[in-house]
Amino acid sequence: MTAPRQQPPRLTLDNVSHTHRGAGHPALERLSLDLGPGVVALLGPNGAGKSTLMRILATVVRPTAGRVLWNGTDTARRPEPLRRVLGYLPQDFGAPARLTAAEFLRYLAAAKGLPHRAARARTAELLAAVNLGGEANRRLGAMSGGMRQRVGIAQALLNDPRLLIVDEPTVGLDPGERSRFLDLLGELAADRIVLLSTHIVTDAAASADRIAVLSGGRLRRAGTVAELLRHTAGSVFETVVPSSELPLMRARWQIVRTARAEHGVRVRLLAPGGRPPEGAAPAAPELEDAYRLLVGEQPSAAFAAGVGAGVPA
Amino acid sequence: MSLAVASAALASTRADFRIRRRGPAYLVMLVGSVLLGLLAAPPRDAAFQVLELGPYRGEFTTGYLAAVTAMAGGLWLSFAGFAAVRGALARDEAEGVAELVASTSRPTASHLLGRFGGAVLVLLSGALVLLGTAVAIQLLRGESTRIDPVALLLPLAVVELPLLLLAAGAAVLWDTVRPLRGAAGAALWFVVWMVLVIGGQSGRGLDLLGMGRITRSLRDAVVAQGDDPHRMEFGVGLTMNGPSREVVHWAGLPAGSWLELVPQAVALAALALALVLAPCAWYRLMPPRPAGRAEAAQAAQAAQAARFRTAGLGAPPPALDRPFPLLAEVRLLLLGQPWWWLPLLALTAVAAGFTAGAAPAVWIALMPAWSRLGVPAPSPASDIVAACPSPGRRRLATVLAGLAVTVAASAPAALRNPSPTWEAVTLGLAALALACNAATRSPRLFQALFPPLWYLIVAH
């Protein structure tokens, strides 16, 4: 099915910056990365610049500075070589409600240059692969959000891409589909680059060979899970405190998560290079710890804290 | 154009036509085409005519009916059909299809051609339904039972189709220019259509409907049957002229005369294609995000985070038992328009307070606000709003907001010359907008109806 490939693909980001028109601050700032085959997870909070970076890599938006090189070719000057082998699932994938899944896929297959007959076969094959084989003639408007998302995943695979960019792909998928999809990404990544953008740390941990943490438009760190964990070693602690002490702890330390315990609240916190609270025991770092340490405290965590003190965050 | 681009354009056409023909606007257009066909071949005692010939009417032959339906279709389908087929690119952007296609290897040209193709198929199917209706009427009336395929299809090919191509091309072009996507685009198309099609009938512009040739041929037919050609008056549209009519035996224009219009038809088709492809120079399938949106979102998020960090969530302000969001609805009507719109409305309203000539311009200036009246926000915002309390009071607030904006804009003219007619017509137009928008959940019907209605009101 797939032609033998001579060289592994290479995607290079060279000081890529992007400022939205009229915005005072860049959405992305001097980002450099060199990527080869494998799953690379872009991890970052909302507004970190992940989707902007994804759009730049998908050649939909041009960087305002810097270059993106696909096998050595500047994609802003010559997007065609990349577009021919690109699969892209954007974050806000809506899909035309009045087309059936098969019609939609065949339309995009033509836009990607697949011959008519091959498009029909590929459409059937991919719909089966995403568990929608029996829904080919169902209109997208009549599908659930998760089913539409699976159609989105299928369209990204239409042209057997060498660079697959998926932006928040597991949104709306049930746990079984999510796990299946992450496995599929792992299989696909054997000889191609799969770029997965997410803010779900467990998705990144489950599927990624490398993780790049983005925050405020900047690359905070990139490396394997092991490398990120090494960076966090010695900074993670756990303790149990009465729930009345929780606000005080939040003011002094970065809380990763809380859970109800028999005599109060079990708190997992970060104390990088500083002093942990009295009685806190060092804990083995997890990817969530490394991520939180790199991006700083996030509004979602703080929001949860404000809503219900002492309730698991 | 490469084979690959053509193939992608063809697939895009197919997909676009499927999307359009499964929408309610398509059904409305087909029903409209049937009605137009019935008007083009009215009953013997009907008081109206689509092709005005003074005291005469043509014999219901294939040639006559094909000519009349081609002119009627060219006239009305190019106008109403424009409203039905515009908005495809905005739809693609909203649905995320534009972003997907932008990342493929042949994006803009094939996508624009596809959307043009879809629009042409929609309009063409309307034209064919119109023609089919005319044939059915010819057979039912039985004045002539011979169907001449050449006489039937030539007017469609050289008169109606080029105008439909032009309307479809303009719809694509308008879509690529953001300020023309709304009310301003509908008003501009009305002006262009008036100049091209109505102007063509007066003999001062291009003979787009073939009126010159048809009237000459009809005069010859009247002379040939020994009647007075000077009693004939010509016009295409819909005119009331009394029921008693003498029949002109006219088999239609000879094929040679129709074929003389081919260069003009080709030129119109080429112009339509140019309108579709010209936007490749500026239109990007994935437009940049609104200025500062990401930054604003980030700043808001950071501010929110800081607030939560220091204070947690405070007690919410007490909610009203029975909210009445009048100010929010007024804001909804006024904001989100182009920056120049509100100053323009104010300027027009003030000018109407000094001179009567500016008064009708107030209606035009109000068109963008009226276009929003009663149109639900796109989902999921509409779902959120629908889940808010007191839907009845909210709907009332919507009506009152429209009323408030309309009264405020028309007040200077009313103060200059207090006239119940002025206020009644102004409020009537606002009510029409509300009714059309609420019924169709879209401003398109109102935007299609308003320009000719405005013209009729001002002209009379």
- The per-residue pLDDT for A93 is 73
Q: Is A289 inside any structural domain?
A: yes
- A76 and A151 both lie in a single domain: yes
Whether A2 is covered by a domain: the verdict is no
| Neighboring chain B residues of A47 at a CB cutoff of 8 Å | 294, 297-298, 301
Q: What is the pLDDT at residue B319?
A: 60
How do residues B201-221 score in pLDDT, each as one tens digit? Answer: 766 667 788 888 888 898 888
A114 shares a domain with A210: yes
User: Does residue A284 sit in the same domain as residue A224?
Assistant: no
For residue A140, tell me if it sits in a domain: yes
Rounded Cα distance, B39 and B77, in Å: 14
Q: Could you tell me what percent of chain B has a pLDDT over 70?
A: 86
Domain match, A217 and A247 both: no
Alpha-carbon distance values, A68 to A37, A72, A215, B37 (Å): 16, 9, 20, 58
Q: What is the pLDDT, as a whole number, of residue B379?
A: 55
Assigned domain for A251 exists: yes
Q: B111 vs A111: CB contact, 8 Å cut-off? A: yes
Please tell me whether the peptide bond between B380 and the residue prior to it is cis, using omega within 30 degrees of 0: yes
Which tens digits make up the pLDDT trace of A111-148? 888 888 888 899 999 999 888 999 999 999 899 888 88
**In a shared domain, residues A148 and A286:** no
What's the CA angle centered on A214, arms A210 and A218, to 5 degrees? 125
Say which of A47, A98, A110 has its CB closest to residue B18: A98
In a domain, A312, yes or no: no
Q: Is the pLDDT reported for residue B272 higher than 90?
A: yes
**DSSP bridge pairs for A281:** A238
Q: How close, in Å, is residue B165 to chain A by CA atoms?
A: 23
State residue A113's pLDDT score.
81
* ipTM exceeding cut-off 0.85 for this assembly: no
Paired tokens of B297? 């979102």
pLDDT digits (tens, 9 = 90+) for B114-161: 999 999 999 999 999 999 998 998 898 888 888 889 999 999 999 999
The residue from A229, A253, A286 where one domain ends is: A229
Domains held by chain A: number: 2
pLDDT beneath 70: ranges in chain A: 1-6, 274, 297-313
Residues of B in contact with A93 (CB under 8 A): 96, 100
- Look at residue A265 and tell me if it is in a domain: yes
Pick from A24, A250, A302: CB nearest B305: A302
Residue A62 makes CB contacts below 8 A (sequence gap 6+) with A56, A76
Do residues A161 and A264 both lie within one domain? no
Of residues A84, A111, A247, nearest to B101 (C-beta): A111
Residue A313 forms part of a structural domain: no
CA-angle at B168, arms to B179 and B209, nearest 5°: 120
A149, A288: one domain? no
Strands (E), B116-265: 235-240, 246-248
* Residues of chain B neighbouring A116 (CB-CB closer than 8 A): 7
Say how far apart CA A209 and CA A101 lie, in whole Å: 32
- pLDDT bucket at B323, cuts 50 / 70 / 90: low
Give me the residue from A86, A90, A116 closest to B96, CB to CB. Answer: A90
Find the domain containing A219 and state its range. 11-229
Compute the distance between CA of residue A276 and CA of residue A180 in angstroms, rounded to an integer: 40
Indicate the residue among A194, A229, A264 that finishes a domain.
A229
Among A25, A62, A108, the residue to mutate for chain B (most B Cβ within 10 A): A108
Cα gap A49→A303, rounded to integer Å: 21
> Cβ contacts (< 8 Å) between B304 and chain A: which residues?
299, 303
pLDDT for B42-53, tens place per residue? Answer: 877 777 777 878
User: Do A115 and A27 fall within a single domain?
Assistant: yes
Q: Do A96 and B104 touch (CB under 8 A)?
A: no
**A235 and A223 co-located in one domain:** no
CA distance B127 to chain A (A): 23
B91–A96 CB contact, under 8 Å: yes
What does the alpha-carbon distance between residue A210 and residue A225 come to, in Å, rounded to a whole number?
A: 7
Domain boundary among A206, A229, A252: A229
State how far Cα A158 lies from the chain centre.
20
Other C-beta atoms closer than 10 Å to the C-beta of B114 total 28
Domain identity same for A118 and A257: no
Q: Which residue on chain A is closest to B304 by alpha carbon?
A: A299
For residue A243, what is the domain's CATH number? 3.30.70
Kindly report the CATH number assigned to the domain that includes residue A181: 3.40.50.300
The bridge status of strand A38-43 relative to strand A193-198 is parallel
- Smallest CA-to-CA distance from A151 within A133, A164, A163, A168 is with A133
pLDDT at A310: 31
- The answer to whether residues A159 and A185 belong to one domain is yes
Substitution target from B10, B18, B91, B104 for chain A, most A beta carbons within 10 A: B104
CA distances from residue B233 to B73, B117, B219, B236 in whole angstroms, order as listed: 20, 38, 10, 10
Does residue A58 sit in the same domain as residue A157? yes
**Closest to A47 (Cβ–Cβ): which among B11, B291, B297?**
B297
| CB spacing of B301 vs A299 below 8 angstroms | yes
Backbone angles phi, psi at A86, to 5 degrees: -105, 135
